[in-house]
């Protein structure tokens, strides 16, 4: 699974980056985000496209596993 690190970016940039990555890897990706707004917005976006999202919290960041 491809990993996309969006740490340091604020919305809407992580959503835009996720959109591009999902076009390249439609089976799913892992996205690292470092703020709650990005976590919620990326999760909402992926869910709206029919993906399931599993979030795992780490040291100051979340890894969102987005899959079909």
Query: Helical H runs in the chain?
Result: 13-24, 36-48
- Pairwise CA distance, residues 10 & 27, whole Å: 25
Domain ranges of the chain: 2-67
pTM of the predicted model, to two decimals? 0.95
**Residues in contact with 29: Cβ distance below 8 Å, sequence separation at least 6, in sequence order:** 1, 2, 3, 4, 18, 21, 22, 66
- Pairwise CA distance, residues 9 & 24, whole Å: 20
Which tens digit of pLDDT belongs to each residue from 4-54? 999 999 999 999 999 999 999 999 999 999 999 999 999 999 999 999 999
| 11 in catalytic set | yes
Which CATH superfamily includes the segment(s) 2-67?
TusA-like domain (3.30.110.40)
Catalytic annotation, pick one of 5, 11, 30, 65: 11
């Amino acid at each position: 699974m491809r990993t996309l690190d969006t740490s340091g970016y604020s919305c809407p940039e992580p959503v835009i980056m996720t959109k591009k990555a999902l076009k390249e890897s439609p089976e799913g990706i892992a996205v690292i985000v470092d703020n709650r707004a990005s976590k919620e917005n990326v999760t909402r976006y992926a869910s709206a496209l029919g993906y399931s999202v599993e979030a795992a919290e780490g040291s100051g960041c979340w890894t969102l596993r987005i899959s079909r």
